[in-house]
C-alpha cells in the first residue's frame, strides 16, 4: 500500500507540476521577436526603422538593381541585359511578365513606406514631444517623399493617403490619383521644412546623428534636400500644370536654407559594404548587365571621359577593344553573343563607395544645377538663384566631374565640345544599327531655341543621373529628352506603341490584383486608362508634347 501511495503521489506531482496555465502568456511570447515595449528603450521604436528606410531609397542589392535594369535603366538606354531572358520575352522588350515589377513596388512599400510609417507613428506616441522626435518625424517625411515619388512616377496612382487605412471592408485599400499624391508630397515637404528650418533657426542641437546614415543628423542639410526634392517634383508638372509647377519651383528656390548645389550637400546613402552595390554585382557576378547603345553613342560622340570611368571596353574579339553597348529591345538569341560587350567598371564600382561618392545617390548637386538651368530657361529664377541657364548647365557638369574626381582640364575641354552623338553599329547584328537621334553637342548654345537648350540641359542631366534610370525615365517622359533609339523588339502585343518611344507606366502589382482587387479598381479609375504599359500618367499627358 505504501508503494501505491508513493506511486499515486508521484503521479499527482507530475500532473500538478506541469498542469497549470499560469505560464501560458510567457510561453506564447516569442523570445526572438520584439514587442513595442522592448523597442521603447532609448526610443528605438523610432530610430530602429531609419536604417532600412534610408538604404532602400537607392538600389539595395543585385536583385532590385536587376529590376531597375528591366524597368527604367533600359528605357533610357543606360544599360541593357546581354542575357535575352525568356527568349527575349521580358520587360526590356515590353513583354509583360506579371509579377516581375512587384519587387520594386513591394520594396518601396515594405522598406520605405512602412518604415517611415512606424517612425512617424511611434515618434508621435512619445510624450511630451521633443525637438528630436519632431525632427525624426520631419526627416521621415522627407525620406518618404524621396522613396515614394519614383513609385508614383512609375505607376501613377498609388496608395499614399490611405496607407494603413483600410476601407469599410477592413481588407482593401484605395489608391490616390497621382495628382493627389503629388499634392500630399508637397504637403509633407511643407511640414518637414517648417519643422526643420525652425530647429535650424533656433540652433537646436541635433541628438540623433549616429542613426542618420545620410546627413549624420545635420538638419540644415535635410532642409536643402527637401528643397531640392521639391524642385525636382515641381518641374515634373511643367506639362500638366504649369502654374503649380512654377509655384513649387519658386518655393524651393526661396527657402532660406537653399538647395543642394555643392557636392558636400549631396543626398546619398553611405552603403555599408566594401564591394560596391548591386550595379556591379549584376554586371560582374551575374553577367546580366552591359552598356546601353544610347549611353555608348552619346558619350562616345561627346568624347565624354565618364564613359571609360563607368564602363570597360568590350572583351568580345569580333567587337574589338572599344566601348560597345546593346540596343534597347535587342533580339538576343544567345547570351554568349553579347556578354562580351562593355561591362560595368570593376575599377570604379567594385571599390569602396566612399571613393566615388557612391552610386547610391538620391539627389546631387549636378542634377540640381541642371534643374536650375531649366528654371532659368523658363525665366522662373528667384531669390539666390537668378544666374543664366548656361551658368547652371556648366556648373552641373562641373559638379558631376568633381564628384568622380575627374581632372579639371578635361572638364574645360569637354564643355567646349561641338561633336555630336555617333550612329549605333552592332557588329553582331546589323539590323540593330541605328542612326543617331539626339543631335545636340555639349557646348551650350545660348542662342538656340528653348527646345534646343532644353535638350542640351536634359542630356547632361541624363548623364548626371546615371545610373538612376527611374528618375531619368521620368524626365524623359516629361520632356522627351534625350532622344533615344526606339526599342528594337516590341513584344507588348500592341499595348505600347513603338513610335511613342517607350513604356509609359508600370502595370499595377500582380500581388495587388490578387489581394486588393477592390483597391486596384480605384487605381484603374484614377489612372484614367487601361492598366497597360502604353497608358500615360497624369503629369505626362498623352498628346501634349509641348515643353513651353
Residues 163-182, interacting with another protein (CB under 8 A): 163-166, 169-173
Nearest to 182 by CA among 276, 248, 265: 248
Indicate which single residue of 43, 57, 60, 401 sits in contact with another protein (rule: CB under 8 A).
60
Question: What's the rounded Cα separation, in Å, for the pair 72 and 77?
Answer: 9
Residues 111-170, interacting with another protein (CB under 8 A): 114-115, 117-118, 159, 162-166, 169-170
| Strand partners of residue 80 | 290
User: How many chain residues bind another protein (CB under 8 A)?
Assistant: 90
- Segment contacting another protein by CB under 8 A, of 330-338, 362-370, 408-416, 454-462: 330-338
Question: What's the rounded Cα separation, in Å, for the pair 396 and 393?
Answer: 5
Tell me how far, at minimum, the Cβ of 164 lies from another protein, in Å.
5
Tell me how far, at minimum, the Cβ of 349 lies from another protein, in Å.
12
Beta carbon nearer to another protein, 215 or 302: 215
- Segment contacting another protein by CB under 8 A, of 25-33, 239-247, 292-300, 305-313: 25-33
Grouping H, G, I as helix, E, B as strand and the rest as coil, residue 158 is strand
Beta carbon nearer to another protein, 41 or 408: 41
Beta carbon nearer to another protein, 171 or 439: 171
404 near another protein (CB under 8 A)? no
Is residue 426 within 8 Å of residue 292, measured between CB atoms?
Answer: no
Beta carbon nearer to another protein, 169 or 546: 169
| Strand partners of residue 176 | 158
Question: What's the rounded Cα separation, in Å, for the pair 188 and 112?
Answer: 15
The kind and range of the H/E element at 116 are: helix 114-124
Q: Residues near 308 by Cβ (< 8 Å), separated by ≥ 6? A: 323, 345
How many CA atoms does the CB half-sphere of 92 hold within 13 Å? 31
Beta carbon nearer to another protein, 4 or 243: 4
- Segment contacting another protein by CB under 8 A, of 189-197, 335-343, 393-401, 458-466: 335-343
Q: What is the DSSP string of 215-274?
A: TTT-HHHHHHHHHHHHHHHHHTTTTT-HHHHHHHHHHHHHSTT----SGGG-EE---S-S
Question: What's the rounded Cα separation, in Å, for the pair 330 and 195?
Answer: 50
Grouping H, G, I as helix, E, B as strand and the rest as coil, residue 291 is strand
Beta carbon nearer to another protein, 36 or 542: 36
- Segment contacting another protein by CB under 8 A, of 241-249, 255-263, 267-275, 351-359: 267-275
Nearest to 174 by CA among 191, 158, 198: 158
449 near another protein (CB under 8 A)? no
Beta carbon nearer to another protein, 166 or 187: 166
Indicate which single residue of 42, 272, 418, 430 sits in contact with another protein (rule: CB under 8 A).
272
Q: How far are the Cα atoms of 230, 247, 396, 459 from residue 456, in angstroms, in the given order?
A: 23, 25, 12, 5
Q: Is 486 left (phi over 0), alpha (psi -120 to 50) or beta?
A: beta
39 near another protein (CB under 8 A)? yes
- Segment contacting another protein by CB under 8 A, of 29-37, 365-373, 409-417, 476-484: 29-37
Beta carbon nearer to another protein, 136 or 195: 136
Beta carbon nearer to another protein, 455 or 535: 535
18 near another protein (CB under 8 A)? yes
Beta carbon nearer to another protein, 365 or 527: 527
* ∠ Cα 139 141 142 (to 5°): 65
C-alpha cell at 373: 538651368
Binding track over 337-366 against another protein, x by CB under 8 A: x-xx-----x--------------------
Residues 469-528, interacting with another protein (CB under 8 A): 489-491, 493-494, 509-517, 519
Residues 81-100, interacting with another protein (CB under 8 A): 86-87, 89, 97-99
Residues 216-255, interacting with another protein (CB under 8 A): none
Indicate which single residue of 2, 5, 19, 379 sits in contact with another protein (rule: CB under 8 A).
19
Beta carbon nearer to another protein, 192 or 523: 523
Indicate which single residue of 40, 44, 391, 402 sits in contact with another protein (rule: CB under 8 A).
44
Residues 288-317, interacting with another protein (CB under 8 A): 315
Beta carbon nearer to another protein, 97 or 130: 97
Is residue 105 within 8 Å of residue 509, measured between CB atoms?
Answer: yes
110 near another protein (CB under 8 A)? yes
Tell me how far, at minimum, the Cβ of 33 lies from another protein, in Å.
4
Question: What's the rounded Cα separation, in Å, for the pair 95 and 70?
Answer: 11
Question: What's the rounded Cα separation, in Å, for the pair 208 and 215?
Answer: 10
Q: Is the peptide bond before 467 cis (omega within 30 degrees of 0)?
A: yes
Is residue 292 within 8 Å of residue 328, measured between CB atoms?
Answer: yes
Amino acid at each position: 500500500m505504501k508503494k501505491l501511495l508513493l506511486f499515486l503521489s508521484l503521479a499527482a506531482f507530475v500532473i500538478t507540476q506541469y498542469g497549470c496555465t499560469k505560464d501560458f502568456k510567457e510561453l506564447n511570447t516569442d523570445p526572438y521577436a520584439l514587442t513595442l515595449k522592448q523597442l521603447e528603450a532609448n526610443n528605438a521604436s523610432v530610430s530602429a526603422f531609419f536604417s532600412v528606410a534610408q538604404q532602400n531609397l537607392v538600389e539595395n542589392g543585385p536583385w532590385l538593381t536587376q529590376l531597375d535594369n528591366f524597368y527604367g535603366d533600359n528605357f533610357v538606354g543606360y544599360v541593357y541585359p546581354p542575357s535575352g531572358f525568356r527568349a527575349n520575352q521580358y520587360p526590356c522588350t515590353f513583354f509583360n511578365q506579371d509579377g516581375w515589377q512587384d519587387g520594386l513596388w513591394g520594396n518601396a512599400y515594405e522598406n520605405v513606406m512602412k518604415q517611415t510609417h512606424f517612425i512617424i507613428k511611434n515618434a508621435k506616441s512619445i510624450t511630451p514631444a521633443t525637438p528630436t522626435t519632431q525632427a525624426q518625424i520631419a526627416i521621415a517625411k522627407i525620406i518618404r517623399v524621396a522613396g515614394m515619388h519614383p513609385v508614383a512616377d512609375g505607376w501613377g496612382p498609388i496608395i499614399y493617403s490611405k496607407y494603413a487605412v483600410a476601407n469599410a471592408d477592413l481588407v482593401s485599400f484605395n489608391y490616390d490619383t497621382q495628382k493627389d499624391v503629388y499634392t500630399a508630397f508637397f504637403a509633407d515637404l511643407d511640414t518637414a521644412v517648417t519643422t526643420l528650418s525652425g530647429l535650424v533657426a533656433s540652433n537646436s542641437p541635433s541628438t540623433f546623428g549616429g542613426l542618420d546614415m545620410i546627413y549624420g543628423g545635420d538638419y540644415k542639410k535635410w532642409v536643402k534636400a527637401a528643397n531640392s526634392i521639391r524642385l525636382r517634383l515641381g518641374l515634373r508638372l511643367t506639362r500638366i500644370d504649369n502654374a503649380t509647377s512654377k509655384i513649387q519651383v519658386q518655393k524651393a528656390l526661396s527657402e532660406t536654407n537653399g538647395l543642394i548645389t555643392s557636392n558636400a550637400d549631396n543626398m546619398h546613402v553611405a552603403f555599408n559594404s566594401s564591394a560596391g552595390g548591386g550595379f556591379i554585382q549584376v554586371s560582374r557576378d551575374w553577367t546580366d548587365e552591359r552598356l546601353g547603345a544610347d549611353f555608348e553613342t552619346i558619350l562616345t560622340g561627346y568624347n565624354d571621359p565618364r564613359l571609360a570611368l563607368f564602363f570597360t571596353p568590350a572583351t568580345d574579339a569580333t567587337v574589338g577593344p572599344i566601348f560597345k553597348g546593346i540596343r534597347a529591345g535587342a533580339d538576343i538569341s544567345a547570351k554568349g553573343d553579347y556578354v562580351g560587350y562593355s561591362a560595368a567598371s570593376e575599377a570604379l564600382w567594385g571599390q569602396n563607395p566612399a571613393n566615388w561618392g557612391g552610386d547610391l545617390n538620391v539627389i546631387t548637386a549636378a542634377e540640381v544645377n541642371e534643374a536650375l538651368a531649366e528654371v532659368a530657361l523658363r525665366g522662373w529664377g528667384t531669390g539666390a538663384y537668378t544666374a543664366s541657364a548656361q551658368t547652371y548647365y556648366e556648373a552641373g557638369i562641373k559638379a558631376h566631374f568633381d564628384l568622380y574626381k575627374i581632372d579639371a582640364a578635361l572638364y574645360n575641354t569637354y564643355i567646349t565640345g561641338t561633336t555630336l552623338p555617333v550612329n549605333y553599329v552592332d557588329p553582331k547584328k546589323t539590323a540593330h544599327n541605328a542612326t543617331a537621334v539626339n543631335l545636340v553637342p555639349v557646348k551650350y548654345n545660348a542662342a538656340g531655341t528653348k527646345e534646343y537648350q532644353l535638350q542640351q540641359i536634359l542630356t547632361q542631366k541624363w548623364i548626371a543621373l546615371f545610373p538612376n534610370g527611374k528618375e531619368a525615365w521620368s524626365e524623359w517622359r516629361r520632356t522627351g529628352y534625350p532622344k533615344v533609339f526606339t526599342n528594337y523588339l516590341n513584344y507588348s502585343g500592341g499595348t505600347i506603341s513603338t513610335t511613342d518611344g517607350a513604356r509609359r507606366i508600370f502595370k499595377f502589382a500582380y500581388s495587388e490584383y490578387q489581394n486588393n482587387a477592390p483597391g486596384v479598381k480605384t487605381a484603374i479609375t484614377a489612372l484614367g486608362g487601361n492598366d497597360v504599359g502604353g497608358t500615360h500618367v497624369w503629369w505626362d499627358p498623352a498628346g501634349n508634347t509641348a515643353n513651353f
